[in-house]
């Protein structure tokens, strides 16, 4: 169960990363799940950042986001690393035929840096959404204990694009080249971003020359990623490519057990209709699955969270809550709706559910809103402050 809470914590920290900078972001990334007791999650804090454990806003946003992902109310408690209750969990991940090759490879890397493995660098994991690629890599990072630079592909693309516009790309290159272990997730999202692909290919060459291990993950085999240039594709194919398959029925049952779902016909039906770990978590997060042993359905938690966001956005942007749903086209209401979509997506709502709630035709409208808000957050400090007040 601790392992699942850690995965939810990592997902929440990733969603909240754009909200927090500097020490606060590093504080979030350094948190480790210890245990879950009666709706309270104990999180181990890096000793060097104990002071940030008193940040009410950080705690509130993390509680809201983790609760929304899991679909139940959670309370957080931060504990020191030297607390006896904060021993790290080292249990084996869920493994079956679909992911055994990937797990054995990562286990071997964690236990010994075999010289033969250097010829496999970089290692590229591919498989459909929700099959556990990122989960296995995070298990390896905890087990290996080596400082790592980890990036989502779109996050790295954004950093490179900003440095290209504003200058400072050489400094970014030097910083990335110091990595001892480099992880790039969601690689398929680099499709068509050829300038970023060139930078990543050059980075792969430099990191390999320095003896850095590179772990990559994406939904498709490098040969099947649409508009992936030959320069970067050849770097991936020159290493080791391994597929992570969908979890079998028995593994999905064990996953549901570790989530604390009530046994019975409903849980079995959820497990059977879900093709992956992500499908199970997605149904729980959307409130369409069944509750955990606490018996609290996720739908109510999401309704409460979104209602709270609507109130804060309407107040900050000076419009009525009804205007956020009734399709008002004035500039103030349109901007407020885009911000609401952005905050709701951060909290874990799917693009389709946000579109339904705001009366938009499809999730593509949500993606457009997110793009507009992110661009303005980067260029308009006053807008950034206003969005911060909505959180």
Q: pLDDT digits over 333-359, tens only? A: 888 888 888 888 776 677 777 888 788
Please tell me the pTM assigned to this model. Answer: 0.56
- Residue 372 and residue 93 in contact, taking contact as beta carbons nearer than 8 Å: no
> What pLDDT score does 90 carry?
42
User: Which one has a higher pLDDT value, 55 or 33?
Assistant: 33
Q: For residues 85 and 34, what is the distance between their CA atoms, to the nearest angstrom? A: 7
> What pLDDT score does 118 carry?
59
Q: For residues 365 and 370, what is the distance between their CA atoms, to the nearest angstrom? A: 9
Region(s) of the chain under CATH 3.30.300.180: 2-86
- The pair of structure tokens assigned to 234 is 């050849």
The residue-averaged pLDDT of 72-96 equals 62
Q: For residues 131 and 341, what is the distance between their CA atoms, to the nearest angstrom? A: 27
Q: For residues 86 and 6, what is the distance between their CA atoms, to the nearest angstrom? A: 13
- The pair of structure tokens assigned to 133 is 């690629």
> What pLDDT score does 22 carry?
72
The residue-averaged pLDDT of 137-154 equals 83
Banded model confidence at residue 232, pLDDT cuts 50, 70, 90: very high
Percent of the chain exceeding pLDDT 90 equals 21
> What pLDDT score does 80 carry?
64
> What pLDDT score does 290 carry?
47
What does 280-300 look like in DSSP terms, one character per residue? HHHHHHHT-S--BTT---HHH
The residue-averaged pLDDT of 6-11 equals 81
Q: Selecting from 3.90.1150.10, 3.40.50.300, 3.60.20.10, 3.40.630.30, what CATH number does the domain 100-243 have? A: 3.40.50.300
Banded model confidence at residue 84, pLDDT cuts 50, 70, 90: very low
CATH tag, 299-390: 1.10.1750.10
The mean pLDDT of the chain is 79
The residue-averaged pLDDT of 158-167 equals 87
| C-alpha triplet 301, 304, 308: angle, nearest 5° | 140
Q: Which class is 2-86 in CATH?
A: alpha beta
The residue-averaged pLDDT of 79-88 equals 47
Percent of the chain exceeding pLDDT 70 equals 82
- The pair of structure tokens assigned to 63 is 């509680």
> How large is the C-alpha radius of gyration of the chain?
21
The residue-averaged pLDDT of 78-107 equals 70
Interacting residues of 11 by C-beta distance below 8 A, sequence separation 6+: 69
Region(s) of the chain under CATH 1.10.1750.10: 299-390
> What pLDDT score does 51 carry?
52
User: Which one has a higher pLDDT value, 155 or 221?
Assistant: 221
Banded model confidence at residue 48, pLDDT cuts 50, 70, 90: low
**What digits encode the pLDDT tens for the residues 195-212?**
999 999 999 999 998 888
Q: For residues 374 and 159, what is the distance between their CA atoms, to the nearest angstrom? A: 13
Region(s) of the chain under CATH 3.40.50.300: 100-243
The residue-averaged pLDDT of 109-125 equals 74
Banded model confidence at residue 312, pLDDT cuts 50, 70, 90: confident
> What pLDDT score does 297 carry?
36
Beta bridge partners of residue 125, listed in sequence order? 217, 242
User: Which one has a higher pLDDT value, 159 or 259?
Assistant: 159
């Amino acid at each position: 169960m601790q392992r699942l809470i850690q995965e939810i914590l990592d997902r929440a920290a990733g969603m909240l990363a754009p909200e927090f900078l500097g020490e606060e972001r590093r504080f979030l990334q350094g948190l480790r799940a210890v245990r879950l007791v009666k709706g309270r999650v104990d999180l181990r804090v890096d000793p060097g950042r104990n002071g940030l454990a008193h940040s009410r806003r950080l705690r509130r946003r993390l509680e809201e986001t983790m609760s929304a992902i899991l679909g139940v109310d959670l309370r957080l408690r931060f504990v020191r690393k030297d607390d006896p209750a904060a021993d790290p969990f080292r249990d084996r991940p869920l493994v079956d035929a679909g992911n055994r090759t990937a797990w054995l490879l990562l286990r071997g890397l964690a236990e010994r840096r075999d010289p033969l493995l250097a010829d496999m660098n970089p290692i590229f994991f591919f498989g459909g959404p929700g099959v556990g690629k990122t989960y296995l890599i995070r298990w390896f990072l905890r087990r290996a204990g080596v400082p790592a630079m980890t990036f989502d592909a779109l996050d790295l693309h954004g950093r490179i694009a900003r440095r290209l516009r504003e200058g400072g790309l050489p400094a970014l290159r030097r910083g990335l080249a110091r990595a001892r272990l480099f992880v790039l997730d969601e690689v398929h999202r680099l499709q068509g971003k050829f300038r970023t692909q060139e930078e990543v290919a050059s980075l792969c060459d430099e990191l390999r020359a320095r003896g850095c291990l590179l772990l990559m993950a994406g939904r498709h085999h490098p040969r099947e990623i649409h508009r992936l240039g030959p320069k970067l594709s050849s770097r991936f194919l020159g290493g080791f490519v391994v597929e992570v398959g969908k979890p079998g029925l028995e593994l999905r049952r064990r996953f549901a057990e570790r989530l604390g779902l009530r046994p019975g016909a409903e849980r079995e039906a959820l497990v059977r209709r879900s093709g992956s770990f992500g499908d199970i978590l997605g149904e729980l997060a959307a409130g369409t699955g069944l509750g955990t042993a606490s018996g609290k359905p996720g739908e109510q938690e999401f309704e409460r969270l979104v209602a709270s966001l609507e109130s804060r956005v309407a107040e900050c942007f000076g419009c009525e809550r009804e205007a956020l749903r009734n399709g008002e086209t004035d500039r103030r209401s349109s901007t407020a709706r885009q911000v609401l979509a952005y905050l709701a997506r951060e909290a874990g709502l799917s693009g389709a559910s946000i579109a339904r709630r705001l009366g938009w035709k499809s999730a593509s409208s949500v993606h457009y809103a997110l793009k507009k808000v992110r661009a303005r957050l980067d260029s308009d400090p006053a807008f950034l402050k206003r969005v911060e007040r909505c959180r």
